Amino acid sequence: MVFILGAAAALALPPTNFWWLLALIVPAVLSLFQAQQAKPLFKQFLFGWLFGFGFFLAALHWIGYAFFVDASDIWMMPFALSGLSAFLALYWGLAFAVASKLAARGHPLWTCLPICLALAEWLRGNLFTGFPWAVFGQMVDGMGGVAQLASVCGMTGLTLLVWLWAAAPFGLWNERGVARIAAALVIISLPAAYGYGEWRLAQNPTQYNADVMLRLVQPNINQNEKWQAGNARAIYDRLLQLTAAPSTTGKPITHIIWPEASVPFLIDESAQGRAELAAVMQPGQTLLAGAVRRASPSPDAPYYTSILMMNDKAEVITHYDKWRLVPGGEFLPLEWALAPLGFRRLVNAPESFTPGDGAKTLAVPGAGNAGFSICYEAIFPGAVAAANPRPDWLVNVTNDGWFGTSTGPYQHLAMLRLRAIELGVPAARAANTGISAVIDPLGRMTFKSQLNAIGSYDLALPSPVADTVYAKTNGILFIILVLLLFLVGEFLRRY
């Protein structure tokens, strides 16, 4: 039963956004959990693990699509998907076990479980390279103004609040006296948060940078075809055609963004490729191209997945190297043990990619400072830009073509939206098959492309708003919220 409830909870994530289901599912889980408090601690752990396993299996099912790109990889799919879900569920199992101990001391279950789960999710996002995908804080994507709290407490703080809001009906039904009043106040805080967010949105209409006109290039290259040797010419021709197309706005294009690993060759080492690119670029234009590069032309030089910043002569000005690599995609964890069993990386490259130096904010000619991220990095708060200097906008390139028309691309975009709200800066995203988008600093989509469409999209870049509380405090409010909720639990335990 608890496994099914976990799977159903995944419907609260984008793109379905059935967040209201949590008000039914979480109290039901708490009721079932409370009924077995007398059982051994391992049973409490197993209960939480089953709930998490159901949730992650449903929430991350889109990962399975990647194994259909190469038919020889399909055998790995059930092992990878169930193994990852089972591993991530360990965090939830631990959270339920600790919450059971706190409840045994008298802490209300509806306050201590959200604390434990929020801390477990923080650990999940940071340990063993981290994987903060499908967190409860992401569910505010469908909650209107509530998402604006990301500018105050970030995604991790929202995870705590969403768990707390979902658990509060259980407290309202089961508690008495002061504890019931506390649960009622928590429930009332949800429409208050919505009201604050809607007020913030009304106070900050979207403003635009008059000096920047972006072109997002979405070539829509099928993943099955991208790395076939005979297709490089056609792929590059499509990129050049989309880059050279006349402006659809009547204004000159100043900055062009190509998606992750857009060209199936090392463009910075190809004199012909750079000459053809220079021939289609207009004077003063800057290209931000997702590309694979290597440190030097030496055959044994390390490879990076990068964003190359190129001028109108197709010369590389600078580059950004991805530093949060995808486990199983761009490198194989425990390769010494898994490779002999037949497991391999999904991304076709001469060797595992080398991680870059870390988050960076780089100056972009004519467009201020930009924070850069590639694909998977957008899911990590703090990984999309260096804190100093503050970015004026975020650049994200990705290739979600691995995941077809599944929920994956929608969830991925929703997390970039949270990054924009957290920092109070706009974001521009170029995706190979979609969803390409421009997001204003309050998370409003000023443009969103269709999946599996070919296009070059000419769009104005929104301007940033004032530095946010979250950016200034570096997420410290999450710790304050945890401590505050724990003290509330202590008070309710005594009274």
3-state secondary structure of 208: strand
Residue whose C-alpha is closest to residue 69's, from 227, 214, 184, 260:
227
Residue whose C-alpha is closest to residue 361's, from 390, 382, 381:
390
What the block records as the tokens of 97 is 């076990």
Instruction: Considering the candidates 330, 375, 377, 422, report the single residue annotated as catalytic.
Output: 375
Whether residue 116 lies in the annotated active site = no
Written as one letter, the residue type at 385 is A
3-state secondary structure of 133: coil
Written as one letter, the residue type at 292 is V
Place of tokens 């995203």: 429
Instruction: Considering the candidates 322, 360, 377, 422, report the single residue annotated as catalytic.
Output: 322
Residue 367 near residue 393, CB atoms below 8 Å: yes
Q: How far apart are CA 326 and CA 280, in angstroms?
A: 33
Residue whose C-alpha is closest to residue 364's, from 279, 307, 424, 305:
307
Q: How far apart are CA 213 and CA 337, in angstroms?
A: 49
Whether residue 153 lies in the annotated active site = no
Residue 162 near residue 140, CB atoms below 8 Å: yes
User: Strand runs (DSSP E) across 134-222, as ranges?
Assistant: 208-218
Residue 255 near residue 288, CB atoms below 8 Å: yes
What the block records as the tokens of 251 is 């204004």
Burial class (CB in 10 A: 0-12, 13-18, 19+), 230: exposed
Instruction: Considering the candidates 260, 330, 377, 422, report the single residue annotated as catalytic.
Output: 260
SS3 string, 387-419, reads CCCCCCEEEEEECHHHHCCCCHHHHHHHHHHHH
Written as one letter, the residue type at 192 is A
Residue whose C-alpha is closest to residue 219's, from 399, 385, 376:
399
Q: How far apart are CA 99 and CA 59, in angstroms?
A: 24
Whether residue 375 lies in the annotated active site = yes
DSSP calls for 468-482: PHHHHHTTHHHHHHH
Q: Annotated catalytic sites, by residue?
A: 260, 322, 375
